[in-house]
């Protein structure tokens, strides 16, 4: 059984991954004199005159327009396939969202929404000239007063779908009330404006740890008050906004959402609004919602807390995540210790040093532990870099493919598995150490991601969605087969030296560490076995040779790295000390 450690205190810092929605940001619109037929047309659309006026783009942008009944999508060279993906996503979103707000458009119909598509943050800033740092650039901007979206291509298809649906929901739901924003009067609270956008976003496209933050807040009795939810900021705020909106739709009917929004513009965020639409006060709504959440989040509530038995691997150092061994006595991890964003750090025999001073989104350690390949968008687009750990020297890696998202170094050393997004969704390729493409592992129309090599370097495990859940697949060097099929998400696989595949398993904000036999199959019941007995959500498992597991643990707004042993495997507290 677990041995309980003494009580400890410690300051907690809040990690917020914010999707900034600039609802009131207005810039000059694009000319409305476009050719009448629906087609992809070369230039002469007016878009080239509205963007890139203040700064010079790194290359000439040859703007085109793709039209459908409800959208005009502006894009430039290299974004042809992505534009078609966007059109499909937006048309589907319109058919799903617009009918619920159609009553707002009985007199003035919603004009075609103009969507400006950018390949990278760099191109977006060169066009918009906002003056904000590249790292602070939003994924999408809804100019709902003029019915326009500015969208930056996302790492994955599910991310792209999430941003598009979120932002177009803002346009559809708020555009009819644009004159009230300009002329004063009542305003809806942020929880409803953002809650609607999250409510219509597909489950797979919603950032998973937002619900993890919500579950944690419910367990701690730390939900925000209705007054606090008038302003929405980080993951927990967005999760609460979604959950409250979802509760109203399920409890009182989907039609009450539009009715409530309209009434907010008339009477504001006051009890009279809630009484008129829902028949109860703000406080009564909050109490009913809290009771519903307490009923919803039961899984793991009575489980032991990892913080009662183990201490963080490294004290302090801000947010910590994605730990990976780099040879004996050394661990590489991501931390926000000296930045608002995540950098690479090395823990070596009790001492820690910073390895990068640029945003790092993914990395992999070489088999000998001497080098790291990492991905950063510090230059405004995803690029791959090579880092020598001993000297700290960083050089660009000459990858033949654009827009890398993830990278995994073969344990044999001569190959890399790289996840890239060149057509709207992610695919996995094999490349050599010169960056040349050797083979394409996946080519589906949805995201395939999170590759990890088998110990012998001959195969891969990776993640792809199947029937609404992320599942594991095995590539044996020639073909792929599905490994898991249970109705939970199977993510972040790591193929251990013991032959087992370790993974993050869960749903509804609760994720645990599990193992699965790679020799099994979905048809034979390739079922993952949970090995973490804790109440908290555990992410990014990495098994160590001695039987311990490095994990990222989320609690009370913080991510910390823990080293722990599964029950029955000689539980022992292991800390940096």
Q: What does the pLDDT look like over 496-518, one tens digit per residue?
A: 999 999 999 999 999 999 999 99
pLDDT category of residue 26 using cuts at 50, 70 and 90: very low
DSSP tag of 103: G
The tokens describing 525, both together, are: 């019941």
Residue 233 confidence (pLDDT): 87
Q: What does the pLDDT look like over 213-256, one tens digit per residue?
A: 999 999 999 999 999 999 998 889 999 999 999 999 999 999 99
Q: Residue 325: pLDDT above 50?
A: yes
Contacts of 504 (CB under 8 A, 6+ apart): 489, 490, 491, 492, 511, 512, 513, 514, 538, 539, 540, 541
Q: Buried (b) or exposed (e) across 207-216, using 16+ Cβ within 10 A?
A: bbbbbbbbbb
Domains, the chain: 22-27+35-184 (3.40.30.160), 306-564 (2.120.10.30)
The chain-wide mean pLDDT, for the chain, equals: 86
Residue 18 confidence (pLDDT): 26
Distance CA 504, CA 489 (A): 8
Residue 23 confidence (pLDDT): 27
More confidently predicted of 527 and 89: 89
Residue 184 confidence (pLDDT): 66
DSSP character string of 353-390: EE--SS---EEEE-TTSSEEEEEE-TTSS-EEEEEETT
Residue 137 confidence (pLDDT): 59
Q: What does the pLDDT look like over 146-192, one tens digit per residue?
A: 888 989 999 999 999 999 999 999 999 999 888 887 666 688 999 99
Distance CA 256, CA 192 (A): 12
User: Where are the strands (E) in 87-198, listed by range?
Assistant: 113-118, 140-143, 148-152
pLDDT category of residue 42 using cuts at 50, 70 and 90: very low
Q: Residue 339: pLDDT above 90?
A: no
Residue 502 confidence (pLDDT): 98
Residue 234 confidence (pLDDT): 86
Q: What does the pLDDT look like over 527-567, one tens digit per residue?
A: 899 999 999 999 999 999 999 999 999 998 899 999 999 98
Mean pLDDT, to the nearest integer, of 369-383?
93
Q: What does the pLDDT look like over 49-62, one tens digit per residue?
A: 454 333 445 567 78
pLDDT category of residue 524 using cuts at 50, 70 and 90: low
The phi, psi pair for 199, rounded to 5°, reads -60, -40
Say if CB 154 and CB 82 are below 8 A apart. no
Q: Distance of CA 379 to CAs 120, 160, 194, 272, Å?
A: 10, 20, 30, 50
Mean pLDDT, to the nearest integer, of 404-430?
96
> β-pairing, 537-543 with 549-555?
antiparallel
Q: Could you report how far apart the first and last alpha carbons of the chain are, in Å?
A: 23
Q: Residue 20: pLDDT above 70?
A: no
More confidently predicted of 130 and 209: 209
Helix axes 80-101, 255-267, angle to 10 degrees: 80
pLDDT category of residue 134 using cuts at 50, 70 and 90: low
Range picked from 17-31, 47-61, 295-309 for highest mean pLDDT: 295-309
Q: Residue 482: pLDDT above 80?
A: yes
Distance CA 126, CA 274 (A): 44
More confidently predicted of 525 and 344: 344
């Amino acid at each position: 059984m677990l041995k309980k450690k003494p009580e400890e205190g410690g300051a907690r810092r809040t990690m917020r991954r914010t999707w900034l929605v600039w609802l009131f940001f207005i810039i000059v619109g694009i000319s409305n004199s476009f050719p009448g037929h629906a087609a992809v047309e070369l230039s002469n659309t007016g878009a080239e005159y509205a963007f890139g006026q203040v700064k010079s783009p790194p290359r000439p942008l040859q703007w085109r327009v793709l039209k459908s009944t409800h959208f005009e999508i502006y894009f430039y060279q290299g974004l042809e396939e992505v534009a078609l993906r966007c059109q499909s996503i937006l048309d589907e979103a319109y058919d799903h969202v617009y009918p619920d707000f159609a009553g707002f458009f009985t007199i003035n119909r919603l004009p075609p929404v103009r969507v400006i598509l950018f390949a990278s943050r760099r191109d977006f800033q060169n066009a918009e000239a906002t003056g904000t740092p590249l790292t602070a650039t939003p994924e999408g901007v809804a100019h709902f007063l003029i019915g326009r979206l500015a969208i930056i291509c996302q790492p994955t298809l599910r991310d792209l779908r999430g941003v598009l649906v979120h932002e177009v929901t803002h346009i559809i739901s708020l555009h009819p009330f644009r004159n009230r924003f300009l002329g004063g009067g009542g305003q809806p609270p942020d929880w409803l404006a953002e809650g609607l956008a999250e409510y219509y976003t597909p489950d797979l496209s919603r950032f998973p740890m937002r619900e993890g933050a919500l579950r944690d807040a419910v367990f701690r009795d730390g939900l925000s008050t209705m007054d606090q939810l008038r302003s929405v900021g980080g993951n927990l705020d967005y999760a609460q906004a979604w959950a409250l909106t979802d509760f109203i739709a399920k409890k009182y009917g989907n039609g009450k959402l539009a009715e409530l929004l309209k009434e907010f513009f008339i009477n504001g965020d006051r009890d009279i609004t809630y009484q008129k639409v829902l028949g109860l006060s703000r406080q009564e709504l909050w109490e009913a919602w809290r009771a519903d959440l307490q009923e919803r989040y039961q899984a793991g509530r009575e489980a032991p807390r990892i913080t009662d038995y183990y201490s963080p691997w490294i004290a302090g150092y801000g947010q910590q995540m994605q730990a990976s061994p780099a040879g004996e006595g050394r661990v590489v991890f991501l931390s926000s210790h000296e930045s608002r964003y995540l950098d690479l750090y090395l823990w070596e025999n009790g001492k820690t040093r910073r390895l990068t001073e640029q945003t790092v989104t993914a990395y992999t350690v070489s088999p000998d532990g001497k080098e790291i390949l990492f991905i950063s968008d510090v230059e405004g687009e995803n690029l791959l870099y090579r880092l020598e750990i001993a000297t700290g020297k960083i050089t660009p890696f000459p990858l033949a493919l654009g827009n890398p998202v993830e990278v995994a170094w073969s344990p044999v050393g001569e190959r890399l598995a790289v996840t890239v997004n060149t057509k709207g969704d992610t695919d996995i390729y094999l490349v050599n150490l010169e960056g040349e493409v050797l083979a394409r592992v996946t080519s589906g129309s949805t995201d395939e991601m999170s590759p990890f090599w088998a110990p012998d370097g001959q195969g891969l495990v990776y993640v792809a969605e199947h029937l609404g859940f992320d599942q594991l697949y095995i590539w044996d060097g020639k073909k792929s087969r599905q490994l898991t099929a249970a109705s939970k998400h199977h993510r972040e696989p790591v193929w251990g030296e013991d032959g087992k595949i370790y993974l993050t398993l869960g749903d509804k904000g609760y994720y645990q560490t599990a193992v699965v036999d790679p020799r099994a199959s979905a048809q034979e019941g390739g079922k993952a076995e949970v090995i973490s007995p804790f109440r908290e959500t555990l992410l990014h498992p990495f098994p160590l040779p001695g039987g311990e597991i490095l994990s990222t643990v989320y609690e009370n707004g913080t991510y910390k790295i823990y080293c722990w042993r599964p029950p029955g495997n000689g539980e022992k507290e292991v800390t940096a000390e």
